[in-house]
Amino acid sequence: ELKVEQNPLFLSMQEGKNYTIYCNYSTTSDRLYWYRQDPGKSLESLFVLLSNGAVKQEGRLMASLDTKARLSTLHITAAVHDLSATYFCAVDEIQGAQKLVFGQGTRLTINP
Amino acid sequence: KAGVTQTPRYLIKTRGQQVTLSCSPISGHRSVSWYQQTPGQGLQFLFEYFSETQRNKGNFPGRFSGRQFSNSRSEMNVSTLELGDSALYLCASSRASSGNTIYFGEGSWLTVV
């Protein structure tokens, strides 16, 4: 059974600082997704990572994938308050079908 | 381009009743999947449909069922509602093959009393 674990689960940081959220998963997969969720809202797609060594960046967020280590990271650079949200990673379990297994989520709070 | 549309957005049901939730995927998307989100269990996969066929099913009891129509629209049904079925139910759609972005709708908030 595929397991996806994120850490930390809660993160409080100051504006302007850098930090990294880690996503470990338990089986071989090269399809890793990152989502953002604001309170009471749905999931917003951030990144889709599809191969070992993939790196994608959008604004202050950068995601990477190491399939050999079964690890993805979401790096936040010079955080701003607007990035406060819960971030989920998810692994697509089955090739050729859509079945995401989600991590527990990381609740990120960025303080002025 | 319209996103994934779910109806109803909010509903309250009584234990023992049944509920049907509807999802219209993004135009051109043929894969539709459903997820349940609760504070205790997080986001859990319910099932996925492609071309009117259920391709995958999560670990939920048979009270949870779904279907997909020829226009890719999907419905899910929960019969004999229990208090624990209170959750946010999210529908997602994507193009057929793996590795495409999976887009989520706003969700249907179900409260069972």
- B35/A100 CB distance under 8 A: yes
Q: What is the pLDDT of residues B52-77, one digit of tens each?
A: 999 999 999 999 999 999 999 999 99
Q: Where are the beta strands (DSSP E) in chain A?
A: 4-7, 10-14, 19-25, 32-37, 43-49, 55-58, 61-66, 71-76, 85-92, 100-102, 106-111
pLDDT range class, residue B1, cuts 50, 70, 90 = low
The secondary element (H helix, E strand) that includes residue B66 is strand B64-68
A27 pLDDT band, cuts 50/70/90, is confident
Residue B97 has pLDDT above 70, yes or no: no
Is A39 an interface residue toward B (CB < 8 Å)?
Answer: no
Report d(CA B19, CA B14) in Å as an integer. 10
Asked if the model's pLDDT at residue B81 lies above 70, the reply is yes
The residue among A38, A104, A93 whose CA lies nearest residue B59 is A93
Chain-chain contact of B55 with A95 (C-beta, under 8 angstroms): no
Radius of gyration of chain B (CA): 13
Question: Is B50 in Cβ contact with A97 (below 8 Å)?
Answer: yes
When CB atoms are compared, the residue of B42, B44, B94 closest to A98 is B94
Instruction: Residue B107: list chain A partners with CB under 8 A.
Output: 42
